[in-house]
A = this chain, B = another copy of it.
Amino acid sequence: MPAQNDAMSETHAGIENLTEALREAGIRVTRQRAALLSVLAAADDHPDAPELHRRAENEVPGISLSTVYRTLSTLESQGVIQRHQFEGAPARFEPVEAGHHDHMIDVETGNVLEFCSDRIEKLQAEIAAELGYEIVHHRMELYVRKVTGPA
């Protein structure tokens, strides 16, 4: 575990909590998992598996891609991270941390912005209820393009 002993950044404080939580869930905290957790916590974009693998290799040089995939699945089922399957792209991941939100994908750049609308959520619930359903979860993605100022 190179370069980092006592001084713990706020980023890592959250990880320490998670580490403990995972251990209690009977999930071993291996070097590769710790690496992925820190990489995920540090990410403010929405990286896909190969990208996370690349980033994790800095901390754990030989880490294999299958381990990355396996760990991502594990973390997802632990509710630690979320998997997003945007159109025509490999799955991308993000830590749950903040609450629920939806996504806006810039079709030009691939950038992902987050947003949340209580009003929409409420309408969704109403629509489902009207048909006798309750929402288990939902997915809303806006594929957008930057508006070029009025020519």
Contacts and interface: CB of A to CB of B under 8 A. Distances in A.
For chain A, the bracket of interface size reads 20 to 34
B120 A132 contact: no
Interface of A: 85, 87, 104, 106-107, 113, 115, 117, 119-120, 123-124, 127-129, 131-147
A136 B107 contact: yes
A138 to B, nearest CB: 5
Main DSSP-derived SS at the A contact region? strand
B123 A146 contact: no
B133 A104 contact: yes
Given A85-B85, A120-B120, A133-B106, A138 B127 contact: no
A137 B143 contact: yes
12 contacts: A87-B139, A107-B136, A113-B131, A115-B131, A120-B120, A120-B123, A120-B124, A128-B144, A132-B147, A133-B146, A134-B147, A136-B143
